[in-house]
Amino acid sequence: GENVEQHPSTLSVQEGDSAVIKCTYSDSASNYFPWYKQELGKRPQLIIDIRSNVGEKKDQRIAVTLNKTAKHFSLHITETQPEDSAVYFCAASMVGDTGNQFYFGTGTSLTVIP
Amino acid sequence: DSGVTQTPKHLITATGQRVTLRCSPRSGDLSVYWYQQSLDQGLQFLIQYYNGEERAKGNILERFSAQQFPDLHSELNLSSLELGDSALYFCASSVGGGAIPYEQYFGPGTRLTVT
């Protein structure tokens, strides 16, 4: 089955700096890669996603890049703010007519220091 | 508030027992996903239902089963409970469930404690 590895497990940055979280996956059949943000005691929320036919996607301060050949994808947060502090999960999914399976990384706890 | 509801919020039960977790998706969403989140195993995809039919299976144990009813609400049944089943169980819903990935909206979760 699919195996998703996520690094680092914890990350501290100064407010205004950039944060980068990296994930690798093992199954070349994975074709959809969402990123979720989970604040303490709350539900995961989708923050950005990318499909396998796209190399990069940006939404304001958040961007995701995908390298299909190397089987890795990364989340980039620029101009970090204290409210960005949370746990971030990457996921790799095989999305198809027979259903959608999701495999998650182990999470990165991001702390933005004011 | 995502529009996805889950009941109960907390559940405490003993080993060997059986429990049922309930999820109501957002209005209009046809797909329901179940996830288990524990400290040692992170977020694990269990199973997906789409318009009443099972669509995809993840790491769901044989002791666990789920179904989606005609009104689209879903139930996750956990039986012969073990201490290791203690976790936060999320359901999520999305409009579709096929080749086009739609955003999943997560419910608030049910925290299960097995003693």
Section A8-34 average pLDDT:
96
Q: What single DSSP character describes residue A98?
A: T
Residue A52 reports pLDDT greater than 90: no
Tell me, what's the pLDDT at A101? 84
Chain A residues lying within 8 Å of B31, measured CB to CB: 100
If DSSP codes are grouped into helix, strand and coil, which group holds residue B6?
strand
Cβ pair A105:B42 closer than 8 A: yes
Which of B45, B98, B107 has the CB atom closest to A43's CB atom? B107
Tell me, what's the pLDDT at A95? 78
Cβ pair B106:A45 closer than 8 A: yes
In the beta sheet, which residues pair with residue B24? B5
Structure confidence at residue A21 as a pLDDT band (50, 70, 90): very high
Section A40-53 average pLDDT:
92
Which tokens go with A76?
A: 């980039």
Cβ pair A104:B44 closer than 8 A: yes
Give the whole-angstrom CA distance, residue B44 versus residue B18.
Answer: 20
- The 10 Å CB-count burial string (b at 16+, else e) for A9-31 is eebebeeeeebbbbbbbeeeebb
Task: Tell me the average pLDDT of chain A.
Answer: 94
Residue B99 reports pLDDT greater than 90: no
Gap from A63 CA to chain B (nearest CA, Å): 17
Chain A residues lying within 8 Å of B42, measured CB to CB: 89, 104-107
Which of B45, B98, B99 has the CB atom closest to A101's CB atom? B45
Cβ pair A102:B45 closer than 8 A: yes
Gap from B41 CA to chain A (nearest CA, Å): 8
The predicted-structure confidence for B31-88, as pLDDT tens digits, reads as follows 999 999 998 778 999 999 999 999 988 889 999 999 999 999 999 999 999 999 999 9
